[in-house]
Amino acid sequence: MLLPSLANVSERLAPIQITRRDKRRVTKYLAMLGDKPLGTAVDEISQVVDTKMNMPAGYEYKFAGVYEVMEEGMVGFAEAGIIAIILVVLTLAAILESFKQPAMILVTVPLALIGVIWALAITNTSMGIFVIMGVIMIVGIVVNNAILIMDQFNVHVAEGIPRHKAMITAACERFRPIIMITMAAVLGMLPLALGRGLGAEMRNGVGIASVGGILVSGLLTLIVMPILYDLFTRKNNKTHA
């Protein structure tokens, strides 16, 4: 029996393979972004699709591939950053036997973020997974400068020196060690930030974020810590007076 006698036969185009995800049929589109950052490209595409394209009912779009991996990595790094800060606080609280002093020491972390943003802006580097990795890594590094000042401050307080004078004296006495430590860390990270060659563009973000964060945090810690200590304790001093 011939097939045309049972049905109408016609030739037409059809997909070679039907791709499904979560039991739903999907169509994939690939794009080469060139020098445009991935996050910027995703925002621009989303804006065009949401404002200029009327998606039929039952249709939706989603960014997969590298962007999906980046989103998952961001969540993981955020958790790692929170855990790192908590561990630093608990460690310092156990060593210093105080929760107030670790809180002041953590002021160096926002100062490091200022340096990271400054370094990324100067080098025209976009915020990526490796940059965030560098930020998390320097959380345990930038607090060292504040620890030096706070430790010397406790020594002077134990000697009977007034607390405000003890803080200023500690910052002055630890100026040279902090500068030495900061410059050693920055110079050690420079090869990572300025490296060239195969795969270097992936490692540069870690080095740039580390150099900017450590450098700016080291310099600002010497100025900001005494000022913040004076602001936080000024009310108590007036009360005792």
107-121 per-position pLDDT tens digit: 888 888 888 888 888
Is 240 within 8 Å of 211 (Cβ atoms)? no
Assigned token pair, 180: 């030495």
What pLDDT is recorded for position 104?
A: 80
Residue type, 116: V
Is 175 within 8 Å of 223 (Cβ atoms)? no
What pLDDT is recorded for position 241?
A: 40
The larger pLDDT score, comparing residue 199 to residue 150, is at 150
Model confidence pLDDT, tens digit, residues 60-100: 878 877 777 777 777 887 888 888 888 888 888 888 777 88
pTM beyond cutoff 0.75: no
What share of the chain has pLDDT > 90, as a percent? 0
**DSSP string across the chain:** --GGGTS--------SS-EEETTEEE-------TTS-HHHHHHHHHHHHHHH--PPTT------THHHHHHHHHHHHHHHHHHHHHHHHHHHHHHHT-SHHHHHHTTHHHHHHHHHHHHHHHHTPPP-HHHHHHHHHHHHHHHHHHHHHHHHHHHHHHTT--HHHHHHHHHHHTHHHHHHHHHHHHHHHHHHHH--STTHHHHHHHHHHHHHHHHHHHHHHHHHHHHHHHHHHHHHHHHH-
Q: What is the mean pLDDT of residues 34-38?
A: 71
What share of the chain has pLDDT > 70, as a percent? 93
What pLDDT is recorded for position 145?
A: 85
Model confidence pLDDT, tens digit, residues 95-151: 877 788 888 888 888 888 888 888 888 888 877 778 888 888 888 788 888 888 888
Mean pLDDT for the chain?
80
What pLDDT is recorded for position 67?
A: 75
Residue 37 has pLDDT above 80, yes or no: no
What pLDDT is recorded for position 157?
A: 86
Long-range contacts of 12-16 (CB under 8 A, 24+ apart): none
**Cα 235 from Cα 82, distance rounded (Å):** 31
Question: Worst-scoring range by mean pLDDT, 10-14, 116-120, 220-224?
Answer: 10-14
Q: What is the mean pLDDT of residues 11-35?
A: 76
> Which residue ranges form the domains of the chain, and what is each CATH number?
72-240 (1.20.1640.10)
**Cα 121 from Cα 127, distance rounded (Å):** 10
What pLDDT is recorded for position 236?
A: 56
CA dihedral 183, 189, 193, 194 (to 10 degrees): 80
Residue 240 has pLDDT above 60, yes or no: no
The larger pLDDT score, comparing residue 3 to residue 168, is at 168
**b/e map of 9-21 (b: 16 or more CB within 10 Å)?**
eeeeeeeeeeeee
